[in-house]
Amino acid sequence: MKRTKVMNYDRFRKVRTFWKYSAIFIAVGGSMFLTGCDEAENVSVYNTIQDCERSAANQAAKDQCALDYQNALAQNAKVAPKYSSQKDCEDEFGIGQCNSQTSTANNVSTSNGSHSSFMWFPLMSGYSSSHANYPSQPLYSSKSYRSPMYGKFVDSKGNSFGSFTSKGTASVPKSSLAPKAATTATTTRGGFGGTVSKMSSSSHSSFSSHSSGSRSFGG
C-alpha cells in the first residue's frame, strides 16, 4: 500500500484540541456532580429533651424525643472533640462546660506526640433529631464569647447546625448527618475552634441555617 507523504497538520490539531477540552469538560462536570451529591437536609435541633417534647404533636413524637436525646447523650463521650487538659477544653467551650473520662484505649495519641489515657471533652449543649436514615447526634456550643462556637450549634466534626436556641430547624449538608466515628486523639487548645471556622467559611456560600426560639444554656 502506498503511504501518503502529506500530513494534514491542521486536522490533527483540531482533533487534539477537541479531546483536550472534552477532558476538561468531563473533569469539571464530574466535580460539580460530586459536590451536588451532598444535598441540603432540614433537621430539627433542640437544647434539651423538654424543648423537643414541647414541640411534639403526640405521645409517639414525645417518645421519639426521649430516644433521640438518649442516643445523642450516649454518643457524646465517644465522638466529642478531646483535650489533654481541662484548661484546653474550657478555653474553647467555657468554664464548667467540660467533663473527663479515662480512655479505654491504651496510649491514646495526643497532638504533641505524647500519650495519655485521661481526656477532657465538652458537655452536650443540644442535639439534632433523627432524620430519615440518620440517627440523632450531640451538638456543641460555647459560653466563651471568644470562641467560634459562641452562639452556635456545631457537631463533633465542626459542621454548623445553626444558632444556639432552645429549638429550631437547621439546613445542613446531608454528609453532616451521617454517624460519627469515635474521637481517640486529643486536639490542641483552639484546634477544634479553628476547624469550626474553616468549616463555616467553606460552607457559607452553599448552606445556610435557620432557627428560632429563646436563648438558654443548659441540657
Entry pTM:
0.69
What DSSP designation does 186 have? B
pLDDT band at 165 (very low <50, low <70, confident <90, very high): confident
Provide DSSP, 37-49.
Answer: HS-EEEEEEESSH
Give 140's strand partners: 154
Summarised one tens digit per residue, pLDDT across range 34-67 is 344 568 899 999 999 999 999 999 999 999 999 9
- Give Cβ neighbours of residue 47 (< 8 Å, ≥ 6 apart): 125, 126, 164, 165, 166, 167, 216, 217, 218, 219
pLDDT tens column, 73-129: 999 999 999 999 999 999 999 999 999 987 654 444 445 555 556 799 999 999 999
